[in-house]
């Protein structure tokens, strides 16, 4: 994988046997202690907070601790990202514990990889795994040249001799004693022959029995009179040495004693090296050696092994033809091809998670309070603000000074603190923050251009001469809110002067969202100065532009202002509602309701009954696929504001229900069943990915939640009866 796709952020987590330690390469980041369940839980936490894209687990009974390896479930239950599991063993007759573990692994895995068709059949028929969840990727093999075994024989002192080879970790089920018993008959025809047994004893066997099995094999070789022709290489060889060992073999033998083996890595490697192969008929061997790519002999049958070996050694042409068939068959399973197949499986897993997101188990069962509004907590807002203004980004809940500030965020923050100061005049903290955010907007305004700059570095250096139209519109929205709602005359005066200077540029804008933000600011201004005909005229001009593009763009099936849905969508509908209400333009009001109703239907996932805002990973173009991720708090906030605006105008319960529907998204009623709002910090996480929540609590997300919460709290005050004179339109 690293060689084919790059090694950046690719790492491994191995399992340490009890009372053992190993010298691992740098690619190992952390280690699991086999029998310590807490180490599995900590590994899951490590994987989650490091923002990894995917986990691929290699599963084999005996690797992981607990009953039937159940400790690993503590890890994979907590994973937020997709999980692809490679199953090295699929049992036809598992015991109850083995079955329970594999059933849960199958359920929690996005995809399952097996290395043989037989294993795939067992998954379907025994474990009920759907076929579309299974990928068959044969065991990978080194990309070796097709070479004469004599090239390597001098490395082992076997030049001029025929070489039989078995390699891999030694254990009694390998059946090596059967080959030793066959040697006398083979040596009778081919006296210049050696049998190399290469590999250390399996660590589990060695820990339980020591080297008893190897010693029994050595004793058997002595008993059969073949000790001088049997070479034991008692160690775990490197990849380079393994290639040399396999390369030196004339015949490779896997004499396993049981058929229930769905994969043999050593057999696959021998095939990839173009070896003539003799094997017992276990499941993987029958599949991989079909078509004349090897010879199958009965289990525990020394005579059959001897006859097969003698036949191949006597017939060079047949042996070389078998070698070539094996080698050509293996070309599609080289490690490069295997890496590509794995990457394709990973990509499928991520795409499927996007289409069918799911929560981790602890999130499914975590308590959620989605029917009550949480208390107002501005601690994170204060934490993200320094003596310049509000910082743009956070690392988790820590302000990220490196990314600097934006006019966008300081404008949003000014709207929020103005409304908070209005509702809690006894609190001086909110008023002080409003001063800071308004000072930022004054600093951002460029008198010569009549425009706001947007991005400011932490060193207080502007990163452009002219900011986006949207940032200008948001700044005007904030200034209008101060004028219409601030309890501080000084703030209103300063905001009013800047508002006057900023209005003319808005009439030149082409961005519909900049029009909408500007309309919201002008409407808030008109709450305080309803007789200002210049601002009323400018507001009507922008609102009519919104109406015009809707009339040109919408259809019976696409009731929207543009040919795509992107960001802050509901603000367009909201702007038409408030502008139409003030100017008594019935068509504007009608379009505001119509477009908002349609938008809510698009953002309502009927199957799960969830609010699913348009994702920023591709948005939604007419005639195309709707992006489900990444879901952003700013979309939920805009939707809540627009629905509550519709509720204020109509007093229809439907719109209040829709606002609650969107607000619960913040509290955990979403695709992943994870709260975006962090009640501990008062911040809001930055978005919902297919496999996890973005844990960073940046300014836009936190401000979006606070804005939504403030407006939801304000609706608790009866307003319908005084709608005509006291309607708040600032949000």
- Model confidence pLDDT, tens digit, residues 465-476: 999 999 999 999
The answer on pLDDT for 236 being more than 70 is yes
* Least confident range of 113-117, 201-205, 317-321: 201-205
Residue 34 in tokens: 């086999």
The residue range of the domain holding 123 is: 2-140+337-355
478-501 confidence digits (pLDDT tens): 999 999 999 999 999 999 999 999
Q: Which residue has the higher pLDDT, 723 or 622?
A: 622
User: Does 136 share its domain with 240?
Assistant: no
Minimal CA–CA distance to 521: which of 548, 489, 549, 496? 496
pLDDT of the residue at 50:
84
On whether both 123 and 15 belong to a single domain, the answer is yes
The gap from C-alpha 127 to its chain's centroid, in whole angstroms, comes to 26
DSSP letters for 150-206: HHHHGGGT-TTSEEEEEES-B-GGG-HHHHHHHHHHHHHH-SSEEEEEE-PBPHHHH
Q: What is the pLDDT of residue 725?
A: 34
Q: What is the pLDDT of residue 51?
A: 78
- The verdict on residue 521 lying in a domain is no
CB-based burial, 291-321: b 16+ in 10 Å, e otherwise: eebbbbbeeebbebbbbbbbebbeeeeebee
Strands (E), 356-490: 391-395, 398-406, 445-446, 451-452, 455-456
Q: Does residue 162 sit in the same domain as residue 309?
A: yes
- Is 437 inside a domain boundary? no
Residue pLDDT, tens place only, 378-418: 999 999 999 999 999 999 999 999 999 999 999 999 999 99
Taking residues 597-613, what's their average pLDDT?
93
Which tens digits make up the pLDDT trace of 616-627? 999 999 999 999
Is residue 236 domain-shared with residue 97, that is, in the same domain?
no
- Give the model's pLDDT for residue 360: 61
Residue 85 counted as domain residue: yes
* Each residue's pLDDT tens digit, 530-569: 999 999 999 999 999 999 999 999 999 999 999 999 999 9
* Mean pLDDT value across residues 651-671: 96
Q: Does residue 41 sit in the same domain as residue 118?
A: yes
Residues 376/382, Cβ–Cβ less than 8 Å:
no
- pLDDT band, residue 582 (cuts 50/70/90): very high
Same domain membership, residue 156 and residue 280: yes
- Report the half-sphere exposure of 526 (CA within 13 A, side-chain side): 25
Q: How far from 399 is each of 73, 459, 678, CA to CA, in Å?
A: 35, 15, 15
Strand partners, 579: none
Nearest residue to 453 via CA among 429, 471, 435 = 471
What is the distance between the alpha carbons of residues 273 and 329, in angstroms, rounded to a whole number?
Answer: 11
Which of the four pLDDT bands, split at 50, 70 and 90, describes residue 365?
low
Instruction: Name residue, tokens 């053992």.
Output: 20
Crossing angle between the packed helical segments 586-602 and 633-650, to the nearest 10 degrees: 140
Residues 255 and 345 in one domain: no
Tell me whether residue 428 is in a domain.
no
* Alpha-carbon torsion, ordered 684, 685, 687, 693, to 10 deg: -140
Check residue 355 and give its pLDDT. Answer: 82
**Is residue 53 within 8 Å of residue 350, measured between CB atoms?**
yes
> 161 and 120 share a domain?
no
pLDDT at 729: 38
Based on the number of CB atoms within 10 Å of its own CB, is 387 exposed (0-12), middle (13-18) or buried (19 or more)? exposed
Place of tokens 């973005």: 694
Q: Could you tell me the pLDDT band of residue 445, with boundaries at 50, 70 and 90?
A: very high
Domain holding 44: CATH number?
Answer: 3.40.50.2000
- pLDDT mean over 240-244: 84
Q: What is the pLDDT of residue 396?
A: 94
Q: Which residue has the higher pLDDT, 678 or 370?
A: 678
Q: Which residue has the tokens 């304000």?
A: 714
Structure tokens at 325: 């068939």
Instruction: Judge whether residue 731 has pLDDT over 50.
Output: no
Residue 76 lies in a domain: yes
Confidence of residue 272 (pLDDT cuts 50, 70, 90): very high
Residues 86 and 174 in one domain: no
**216 C-beta neighbours (distance < 10 Å), count:** 13
What is each CA distance from 320 to 275, 327, 662, in whole angstroms? 9, 10, 70
pLDDT at 727: 39
- Contact yes or no for 121/145 (Cβ under 8 A): no
Residue pair 701/719 in contact (Cβ under 8 Å)? The answer is no
Long-range Cβ contacts of 656-663 (<8 Å, 24+ apart): 656/715, 658/600, 659/712, 659/715, 660/712, 661/604, 661/611, 662/603, 662/611, 662/613, 662/636, 662/708, 663/373, 663/636, 663/708, 663/709, 663/712
In terms of phi and psi (left: phi > 0; alpha: psi -120 to 50; beta: otherwise), the region of 398 is beta
* Rounded distance between C-alpha atoms, residue 76 and residue 675, angstroms: 20
User: Is residue 267 included in any domain, yes or no?
Assistant: yes
In tens, the pLDDT along 142-189 reads 999 999 999 999 988 899 999 999 998 899 989 999 999 999 999 999
Banded pLDDT at 716 (limits 50, 70, 90) = low
pLDDT classification of 358: cutoffs 50, 70, 90 = confident
Please state, in angstroms and rounded to a whole number, the distance separating the CA atoms of residues 619 and 659.
22
Share of the chain above pLDDT 90, in %: 84
579 burial (CB, 10 Å; 0-12 / 13-18 / 19+) is: buried
Q: CA 635, CA 615: separation in Å to the nearest integer? A: 9
For residue 728, pLDDT over 70 is answered with no
pLDDT at 730: 37
**Lookup: tokens for 229:** 């022709």
Q: Is 395 helix (H, G, I), strand (E, B) or coil?
A: strand
Contact indicator for 573, 595 with CB cutoff of 8 Å: yes
In this structure, are 173 and 203 located in the same domain?
yes
Residue 362: predicted pLDDT: 57
State whether 132 and 278 are in the same domain. no
pLDDT digits (tens, 9 = 90+) for 455-468: 999 999 999 999 99
Indicate the burial class of 473 (C-beta count within 10 angstroms; 0-12, 13-18, 19 or more): buried
Residue 568 lies in a domain: no
Q: Are residues 188 and 276 in the same domain?
A: yes
Query: Tokens 């010879």 identify what position?
Result: 295
Mean pLDDT of the chain: 93
Rounded-to-5 percentages of helix, strand, coil across the chain = 50, 15, 35
Q: The tokens of 343 are what?
A: 């990457």
Q: How far apart are CA 656 and CA 663, in angstroms?
A: 10
Q: Which of 120, 118, 115, 119 is nearest to 131 (CA)?
A: 120
Q: At what angle do helices 570-583 and 533-553 cross, to 10 degrees?
A: 130
How many distinct structural domains can be found in the chain? 2
| Assigned domain for 472 exists | no
pLDDT at 722: 39
Domain boundary among 289, 322, 355: 355
């Amino acid at each position: 994988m690293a060689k084919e796709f790059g090694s950046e952020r690719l790492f491994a987590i191995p399992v340490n046997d009890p009372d053992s330690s190993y010298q691992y390469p740098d690619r190992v980041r952390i280690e699991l202690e086999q029998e310590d369940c807490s180490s599995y839980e900590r590994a899951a936490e490590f994987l989650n907070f490091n923002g990894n894209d995917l986990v691929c687990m290699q599963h084999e009974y005996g690797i992981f601790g607990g009953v039937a390896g159940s400790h690993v479930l503590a890890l994979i239950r907590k994973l937020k990202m997709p999980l692809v599991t490679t199953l090295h063993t699929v049992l036809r007759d598992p015991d109850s514990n083995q079955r329970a573990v594999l059933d849960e692994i199958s359920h929690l895995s996005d995809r399952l990889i097996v290395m043989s068709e037989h294993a795939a059949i067992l998954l379907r028929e025994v474990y009920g795994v759907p076929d579309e969840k299974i990928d068959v990727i044969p065991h990978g093999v080194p990309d070796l040249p097709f070479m004469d075994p004599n090239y390597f024989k001098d490395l082992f002192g076997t030049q001029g001799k025929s070489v039989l080879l078995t390699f891999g970790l030694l254990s009694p089920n390998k059946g090596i004693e059967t080959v030793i018993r066959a040697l006398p008959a083979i040596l009778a025809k081919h006296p210049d022959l050696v049998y190399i047994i290469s590999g250390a004893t399996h660590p589990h066997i060695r820990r339980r029995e020591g080297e008893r099995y190897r010693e029994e094999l050595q004793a058997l070789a002595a008993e059969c009179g073949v000790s001088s022709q049997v070479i034991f290489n008692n160690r775990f060889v490197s990849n380079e040495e393994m290639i040399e060992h396999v390369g030196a073999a004339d015949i490779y033998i896997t004499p396993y004693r049981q058929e229930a083996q769905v994969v043999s890595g050593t057999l696959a490697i021998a095939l990839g090296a173009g070896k003539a192969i003799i094997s017992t008929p276990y499941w993987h061997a029958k599949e991989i050696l079909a078509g004349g790519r090897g010879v199958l002999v009965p289990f525990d049958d020394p005579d059959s092994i001897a006859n097969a070996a003698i036949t191949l050694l006597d017939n060079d042409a047949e042996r070389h033809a078998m070698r070539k068939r094996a080698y050509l068959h293996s070309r599609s399973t080289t490690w490069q091809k295997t890496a590509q197949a794995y990457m394709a499986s990973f990509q499928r897993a991520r795409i499927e998670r996007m289409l069918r997101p799911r929560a981790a188990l602890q999130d499914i069962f975590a308590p959620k309070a989605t029917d009550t509004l949480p208390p107002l907590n501005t601690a994170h807002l204060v934490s993200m603000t320094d003596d310049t203004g509000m910082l743009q980004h956070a690392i988790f809940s820590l302000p990220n000074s490196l990314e600097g500030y934006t006019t966008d965020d300081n404008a949003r923050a000014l709207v929020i603190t103005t409304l908070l100061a209005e509702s809690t005049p006894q609190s001086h903290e909110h008023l002080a923050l409003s001063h800071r955010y308004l000072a930022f907007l004054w600093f951002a305004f460029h008198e010569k251009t009549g425009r706001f700059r947007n991005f400011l570095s932490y060193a207080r250096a502007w990163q452009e001469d002219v900011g986006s139209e949207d940032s200008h519109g948001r700044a005007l929205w904030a200034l209008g809110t101060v004028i219409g709602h601030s309890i501080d005359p000084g703030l209103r005066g300063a905001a009013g002067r800047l508002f006057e200077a900023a209005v003319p540029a808005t009439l030149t804008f082409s961005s519909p969202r900049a029009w909408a933000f500007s309309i919201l600011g002008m409407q808030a201004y008109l709450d305080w100065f309803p007789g200002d005909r210049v601002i009323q005229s400018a507001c009507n001009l922008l609102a009519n532009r919104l109406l015009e593009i809707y009339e040109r763009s919408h259809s019976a099936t696409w009731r929207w202002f543009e040919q795509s849905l992107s960001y802050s969508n509901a603000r367009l509908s909201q702007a038409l509602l408030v502008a139409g209400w003030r100017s008594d333009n019935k068509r504007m009001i009608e379009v505001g309701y119509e477009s908002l109703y349609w938008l809510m239907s698009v953002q309502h996932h009927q199957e799960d009954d969830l609010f699913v805002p348009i994702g920023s990973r591709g948005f939604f173009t007419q005639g195309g696929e709707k992006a489900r991720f990444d879901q952003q708090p700013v979309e939920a906030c805009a939707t809540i504001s627009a629905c509550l605006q519709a509720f204020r105008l109509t007093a229809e319960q439907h719109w209040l229900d829709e606002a609650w529907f969107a607000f619960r998204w913040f509290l955990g009623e979403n695709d992943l069943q994870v709260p975006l709002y962090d009640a501990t910090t008062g911040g809001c996480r930055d978005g919902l990915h297919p496999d996890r929540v973005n844990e960073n609590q940046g300014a836009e997300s936190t401000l979006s939640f606070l804005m939504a919460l403030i407006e939801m709290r304000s609706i608790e005050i009866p307003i319908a009866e005084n709608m005509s004179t006291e309607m708040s339109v600032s949000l």
